[in-house]
A and B are shown apart, each in its own frame.
Chain A
Amino acid sequence: MALFAVFQTTFLLALLSLRTYESEVLSEPLPLTPESLKVSVNSTCQCLHLQWTVHSLAYHQELKMVFQIQISRFKTSNVIWVENYSTTVKRNQVLHWSWESELPLECAAHFIRMRSMVDDARIPKPGFWSNWSSWEEADAQNMLGHDPLFVFPKDKLVEEGSNVTICYVSRIHQDNISCYLEGVQIYGEQLDRSVSAFELKNVSFIREKGTNVFCKVDQGGVLGGIVLFVSKVLEEPKDFSCETQDLKTLTCTWDPGSDTGLTKQPSQSYTLFESFSGKKTLCKHRNWCDWQVAQDSQETFNFTLLAENYLRKRSVSILFNLTQRVHPMTPYNLLPKNVGATKATMTWKVHSIGNNSTLLCQLELLAEGKVIQQSNVSIKVNGEYLLSELEPDTEYVARVRCAYTNHFWKWSELISQKFNTAEAAPSEAPDVWRNLKLVSGHPTVSLFWKPLSKVHANGKILFYNVIVENLDKPSRFEVLSIPAPASSTELTLDQCSYQIHVTAHNSVGPSPASVIVVSGDPGNEEVEKGRVNGTEDGFSVSWKPQSGDATGYVVEWCDGPQDLPCVLQWKNLGPNTTSTVIRSGAFRPGVRYNFRIYGISTRRMAHLLEKKAGYLEELAPSDNPQVVMSKLTSRSFTLSWKDYSTESQPGFIQGYHVYLKPKAGEQCHPAFEKTVLPEDSVCCKYTIDNPEQKTFVVENLQPESVYEFIVTPYTSVGEGPLDAFTKVTTLDEYSHTLIHIILPMIFCILIVMIICYLKSQWLKEKCYPDSPNPYKSSVLSLIKSKENPHLTIMYVNDCVPDAIEVINKPEGSKIQFLGTRKSPTETEFTKPAYLYLLPTEKNYSGPGPCICFENFTYNQAASDFASCGHFPVTPQAPRHQLGPLTSPENLLKALEQNYMNSLGEIPAGEANLNYVSQLASPTSGDKDSLPTNPPEPALCSEYKMQTAIPLGLASAPPSENSSLSSTTLLGQGEHCR
């Protein structure tokens, strides 16, 4: 036992001595446990920060150690992370280690512990782990408030495309919590009774104001949310380059790409760093930055452009020599000097670069937008260049750009300048043609010329000179000056031959002369007429070559249709040409164009060679001729369309079709061809193949039958419209005989009628004179002369009426009127007008003969008596006498009373009844005695049974009871017979 105790003591001493040796001399691998472990939570980066020390180390001892760290979530047994952290450790050194959690730290408590092991090469023995430190808890939930629902991470900034874990912590322990990403529900994993997590993968940028994630308790009014800021990924700057204009300042430019700016994060910043000088500058702009070149003539530069935002940094570098990045400034003062018709000198200036630097400048000359000349000039400050071979009166644009000669990098910007060259005399004679015609018997030549092209005019043409030289009288000239832009003139000539010179003038001088010879004789020679075919390209005109001395040919035509004024066109052709194609934009299908080919002689005189006519494209006729039908018989009729012009048609008329619709069942005449019209009706067709035959006799018809016909022309393309047939009815076979009888009879009757009309007055007087007009009656004169020379004619004017007939016209309104009160003045107007037929004292012009009827014979004595029997008749009756007359008795009484009163008022000897003769309407007698002369009674024309009434009643209006006959009212014996 003692031996065992000694051995044990010895072993312990040996072990102690060994440990002492290791720890102090040989660095014995001791289990150095981490101490003072502290854990802190950083919510912004969702990081756990650990710090600890190792106290057991000796002074000045440095050991390489491994720390194994364990992290558990919710509970210590739920280890979610194990990591070995190797580092060199000194005595009492505070060690740090961070861990970023995917799950927001606020959503779960975390527990951390660690152990260590010496892992130093100086200690050959294999190490062993120390004991674990105690668990340290990191619980951010303690920092939360008392809200019922929290969502984490708050306001996190992430890059586009990254994955984010969202979680909520509920203090109300309810299951009905829903979470939404931008309004769309998301589903996650429940980590704990009150914690759920949602993993958002590959998040994308939505708006600067952030992506909204919120959770709410359904129907609970509890809501919590976060804003997730998703930044676009910072792009590497593109096209980074630097250049200088003056070797003093460098300007660096780049394409920054898209902006990652959020309300949570400002836009990315750019910093320029130059490695040789070690300088850097923060750029004020997103895409360019200026860099001042130091005075020490640094030639080589190594620039690094650094772009950074909260999440990322990007950089790009370039290395260059300063003189190889010279981009000169734009030249200035580019001006034309000594501008002539064909030459001009251009001058310009450049900004100098450094000392004695040379610039290569490029001068370009443009006409009508195209570069026509290009020259390179080396200059220092002032540039000059002579441009030649220019066109007169032309606008040019000169432009200049320059580059650094030592090392070409870039052309400068262009500077441009317009200028115009001066004018020169026209270089070519105008193209002249003529047209000869007789105006009022005088030969007249119309001269036409084409305006000179810009190339030949060399300036603005001001006028044209026309010199007319009489070839028969060489000393006579006539000069006409015609101001531009006229292109024609007219000259009246005589029968002589004339040579005409035409020149175009601008401000510098005249053009060469164009010479043409005309003779006073228009010619109008008959020449060969032909046809010419039109194609899409135009008219291909050919002619026979003129034998002899033709110096050229001219083809002449009018651009418009024949019915429009001719716009004369011509084309000059060489002496060896016998065909040409005439093109014109004015040519239209369906229009006939006439071409005339002239040969030009050596004397410059034109002779008509051929005439051609053609259509660009023939069309079918659009109208039919106006057909006149004549010579209609029972079996035939003639059609004629003489006025139809074949020249002005939309094609060459080849003939005519005569269509005839026969009677039903009737066959076509053998000369006709049976055809079916478009509307399916059967028709007989006759074809006239001669366009000049414009009459046609339709024969072999049935008498008294209706036929329909139409005449339509046809061209190579088709015929005219078959729309308006004309109807014709053939005569019957006897109609002409009847006409021979009826016409004379009608003539005779007309003669008789005319005679009767002319002698109508005579006949009337003889046979039926106006009645009664006894004076005009031949019978009366006969009686007068033979029987009683004293017999005279009764004048109705002289007739004194002896009776008044009351005409019964019952009018209800007037009866009513009698029953109302009215003032005396008003009742005056109720006086019947017809009482004026009797003369009154006032208007009676004088006594006249009055004839009383006695046994229907006229009695002169009676007439004499009556002449003094006139007395005034007053229509004014007393009111009481106009009282109710509604019964026959009352009426009779009234009449009697009235009668008595009348008697009382009338003087003795005159108290007679007046008898009004019943007269016919005055209009039936002598019209001169109409009421325009009231005192004169109307002529008596008709006699009726006469009645007498008391004068006082004459004005009484009729009433129902007054419909008694006059015989009832009057007593016997009071008639004047």
Chain B
Amino acid sequence: MDLRAGDSWGMLACLCTVLWHLPAVPALNRTGDPGPGPSIQKTYDLTRYLEHQLRSLAGTYLNYLGPPFNEPDFNPPRLGAETLPRATVDLEVWRSLNDRLRLTQNYEAYSHLLCYLRGLNRQAATAELRRSLAHFCTSLQGLLGSIAGVMAALGYPLPQPLPGTEPTWTPGPAHSDFLQKMDDFWLLKELQTWLWRSAKDFNRLKKKMQPPAAAVTLHLEAHGF
């Protein structure tokens, strides 16, 4: 392609125009606070890590409980685990939730689950299992802190537990050992579902907080030159 002298002047003018408007492009206009994006990403990564960690822990713990709890197709009725926060929710309902509600539900759920999990840890008979559970509790505590960070970055207040509704782990005498095992099973199952749901929530939030990828498109066609 032959370039004439007049073409280069036209291209220079175009480049100058583009550079003049660059500060107005949102994606490039980040000089100060990076916003909630990185913390959402970290929360999402931590959720995925916990999912992975739970897979190993659940296998060990369910073997510790014995059959039928460690059988892959075991799906018992939810007899004694009513107090556990349910992760399953109708899809339409879930879609209708706003970011604040989602984050609040996540925060509350993990607060409850962490408490139950600590009770599980106290009850465990083997030292190795206690170590694994303690490690997972620490990670889950980190996830709670991470969610709190995201909520703070987005300007949402942390949910305050109502007095008297704090979850407590009490191996009551009326609660048989079999039902207790069922509770343990459901605790791990709910934890797994919550982590899966949270991963979706944070991924959705992450995408929402990201600027559109096509915000900067330099049209450098040389028409008119």
**Interface residues of A, Cβ cutoff 8 Å to B:** 147, 151, 154-155, 180, 182-183, 206-212, 214, 221-227, 229, 263-264
A208 with B125, Cβ < 8 A, contacts A180-B68, A214-B68, A223-B79 known: yes
* Cβ B67 vs Cβ A183 within 8 A: yes
A222 CA to B77 CA, complexed, in Å: 7
Q: Shortest Cβ distance from B59 into chain A, in angstroms?
A: 15
Q: How far is the CB of B179 from the nearest CB of chain A, in Å?
A: 8
List the A side residues contacting B67 at CB < 8 Å: 180, 182-183, 212
Bitwise, B94-123 to A at CB < 8 A (1) or not (0) is 000000000000000000000000000001
Please pick, from B77, B123, B177, the residue contacting A210 in the complex, using a CB distance under 8 A: B177
* A150 → chain B closest CB, angstroms: 10
- Least distance between B180 CB and chain A CB atoms (Å): 8
Contact call B66/A223, Cβ cutoff below 8 A: no
Q: Which of B64, B66, B71, B126 has the most CB of A within 10 A?
A: B66
Q: Which residues on B sit within 8 Å (CB–CB) of A182?
A: 66-67
* A223 and B76 contact, CB distance less than 8 A: yes
Q: Residue on A with the closest CB to B75?
A: A221
Question: Across the interface, do B68 and A209 meet the contact criterion of CB distance under 8 Å?
Answer: no
- Supply 12 A–B pairs (Cβ within 8 Å), ascending by A: A155-B176, A207-B64, A208-B125, A208-B126, A212-B65, A212-B66, A212-B181, A214-B68, A224-B178, A226-B176, A226-B178, A227-B177
Q: Determine if B44 is an interface residue (Cβ-Cβ < 8 Å).
A: no
Among all A-B residue pairs, the 7 with the closest Cβ atoms: A183-B67, A227-B177, A225-B178, A208-B125, A155-B177, A154-B176, A227-B178
CA A74 – CA B133 in complex, angstroms?
48
- The answer to whether B136 has its CB under 8 Å from any CB of chain A is no
- Please report the C-alpha to C-alpha distance between residue A234 and residue B69 in the assembled complex, in whole angstroms: 29
A91–B66 Cα gap in the complex (Å)? 55
- The residue of chain B having its C-beta at the shortest distance from the C-beta of A183 within the complex is B67
CA distance A264 to B178 in the complex (A): 12
A214 and B178 contact, CB distance less than 8 A: yes
Residue of B nearest to A262 (CB): B125
- The chain B residue with its CB closest to the CB of A145 is B174
Please tell me if the beta carbons of A211 and B176 are within 8 angstroms of each other in the complex: no
B66 touches A263 (CB 8 A): no
Contact: A183 with B68, CB < 8 Å?
A: yes
Assess the B66–A209 pair: CB atoms within 8 A. Answer: yes
Which B residues touch A147, using CB under 8 A? 79
Cross-chain contact A209 with B76 (CB below 8 angstroms)? no
In contact, A212 and B68 (Cβ under 8 angstroms): yes
Task: Across the interface, name the chain A residue whose C-beta is closest to B180.
Answer: A227
| CB neighbours of A151 from chain B (8 A) | 178
**For A221, what are the chain B residues with a Cβ–Cβ distance below 8 Å?**
77
Complex Cα distance A263/B184, Å?
A: 15
The binding surface of chain B is classed by DSSP as loop
With a cutoff of 8 Å between Cβ atoms, the chain B residues found around residue A264 in the complex are 177
Taken together as a complex, chains A and B put the C-alpha atoms of A212 and B69 apart, in Å, by 9
If over half of A's interface residues share one DSSP class (helix, strand or loop), that class is named, otherwise mixed; here it is loop
Complex Cα distance, B68 from A211, in Å, reads: 10
A264 to chain B, nearest CB (A): 7
Residue numbers in B under 8 Å from A227 (CB-CB):
176-178, 181
Q: Chain A residues with Cβ under 8 A from B69's Cβ?
A: 212
The answer to whether B77 touches A211 (Cβ under 8 A) is: no
User: For the complex, what is the distance from the CA of A147 to the CA of B68, rounded to whole Å?
Assistant: 20
B residues 40-83 near A (Cβ < 8 Å) are 64-69, 71, 76-77, 79
Contact across chains for A209 and B77 when beta carbons are under 8 A apart: no
B71, closest chain A residue (CB): A183
| Whole-angstrom CA separation of A154 from B125 in the bound complex | 20
**B126: which A residues are within 8 A, CB to CB?**
208
* A227 and B176 alpha carbons, distance in the complex (Å): 8
Chain A: minimal CB distance from B112 (Å): 24
CB pair B176 A207 closer than 8 Å: no
* Cβ contact within 8 Å between B79 and A206: no
Q: Interface extent on B, as a size class?
A: 10 to 19
* CA gap between A229 and B181 in the complex, in Å: 13
Partner of B123, one of A180, A224, A263: A263
CB of B127, distance to nearest CB on chain A (Å): 12
In the assembled complex, the Cα of A399 lies from the Cα of B66 at a distance in Å of 55
Residues of B within 8 A of A155 (CB): 176-178
Cα–Cα, bound, A474→B65 (Å): 102
Q: Which residues of B contact A224 (CB under 8 A)?
A: 178
Give chain A residues whose Cβ lies under 8 Å from the Cβ of B79: 147, 223
Q: How far is the CA of A211 from the CA of B178 in the complex (A)?
A: 10
Whether the Cβ atoms of B71 and A209 lie closer than 8 Å is no
* Contact among A211, A222, A226, A263 for B125, CB-based, below 8 A: A263
Contacts of A229 in B (CB 8 A): 177
In-complex Cβ contact of B66 among A154, A207, A222 (8 A): A207
Tell me which residues across on chain B come within 8 A of A225, comparing CB atoms: 178
Excluding A154-B178, A223-B77, 5 further A-B contacts by CB distance (< 8 Å) are A183-B71, A207-B66, A209-B181, A212-B66, A227-B176
Q: How far is A379 from B200 in the complex, measured between Cα atoms in Å?
A: 83
A964 vs chain B, min Cβ distance (A): 47
Alpha-carbon gap, A221 to B76, bound state (A): 7
Name which residue of chain B comes closest to A206, CB basis: B66
Q: Which residues of A contact B66 (CB under 8 A)?
A: 182, 206-207, 209-212
Cα–Cα, bound, A210→B184 (Å): 14
User: Judging by beta carbons under 8 Å apart, are A209 and B64 in contact?
Assistant: yes
Interchain CA distance A227-B68 in the complex, whole Å: 12
* CB-defined contacts of A223 to chain B, threshold 8 Å: 76-77, 79
Complex contact A209–B178 (CB within 8 A) = no
Structural contact, B176 and A209, CB atoms closer than 8 A: no
Contact with A along B173-216 (1 / 0, CB 8 A): 00011100100000000000000000000000000000000000
Expressed in whole angstroms, the Cα–Cα distance for A142 and B98 within the complex equals: 49
Chain B residues, Cβ within 8 Å of A207: 64, 66
Q: What residues on A are CB-neighbors of B125 within 8 Å?
A: 208-209, 263
User: In the complex, A210 Cα to B66 Cα: how many Å?
Assistant: 8
Measured in the bound complex, the distance between the Cα atoms of B152 and A872 in whole Å is 103
Write the chain B residue with the least CB distance to A181. B67
Contact residues, B120-178 vs A (CB, 8 A): 123, 125-126, 176-178
| Distance, CA A779 to CA B177, complexed state (A) | 140
A296 to B: closest C-beta gap in Å:
45
CB distance from B15 to the nearest CB of A (A): 41
For B123, the chain A residues whose CB sits under 8 A away are: 263
Q: How far is the CB of B62 from chain A (nearest CB, A)?
A: 11
Alpha-carbon distance between A124 and B66 when the two chains are bound, in angstroms: 64
* Most chain A CB inside 10 Å of its own CB: which residue of B67, B71, B125, B126: B67
Complex contacts, B71 vs chain A, CB 8 Å? 183
Distance of A224 Cα from B80 Cα, bound (Å) = 11
A208–B178 CA distance with the chains assembled, in angstroms: 14
In Å, the complex CA distance between A152 and B177 comes to 12
In the bound complex, CA of A223 to CA of B125 (Å): 26
User: For B65, what are the chain A residues with a Cβ–Cβ distance below 8 Å?
Assistant: 209, 212
By a CB distance below 8 angstroms, the chain B residues around A183 are 67-68, 71
- Which residues of A have CB within 8 Å of B181? 209, 212, 227
Q: Residue on A with the closest CB to B76?
A: A223
Query: How far apart sit A761 and B125, CA to CA, in the bound complex (Å)?
Result: 117
Please give, as numbers and ranges, the residues of chain A lying within 8 Å of B76 by CB-CB distance: 223
Q: Tell me, rounded to whole Å, the shortest Cβ–Cβ distance linking B184 to chain A.
A: 10
Closest chain B residue to A226 by CB distance?
B178
Of all chain A residues, which has the CB nearest B67? A183
Closest-by-CB residue of B relative to A261 is B125
- CB closest chain-B residue, reference A220: B77
CB distance from A43 to the nearest CB of B (A): 11
Give min CB distance, A206 to chain B, whole Å. 7
**Which residues of chain B have C-beta atoms less than 8 A from A210's C-beta?**
66, 177
Q: Collect the chain A residues with CB atoms within 8 Å of residue B68's CB.
A: 180, 183, 212, 214
Taking the closest CB of chain B, its distance from the CB of A169, in whole angstroms, is: 14
Q: Which residue of A lies closest to B177 (CB)?
A: A227
- Residues from chain B with a CB closer than 8 A to the CB of A226 are 176-178
Complex-state Cα separation, A151 to B176, whole angstroms: 11
The CA of A155 and the CA of B68, in the complex, are separated in Å by: 17
B178, A212: Cβ atoms closer than 8 Å: yes
Chain B contacts for A154, CB-based, 8 A = 176-178
Q: With CB as the reference atom, state the residue of chain B lying closest to A264.
A: B177
CA distance A154 to B177 in the complex (A): 8
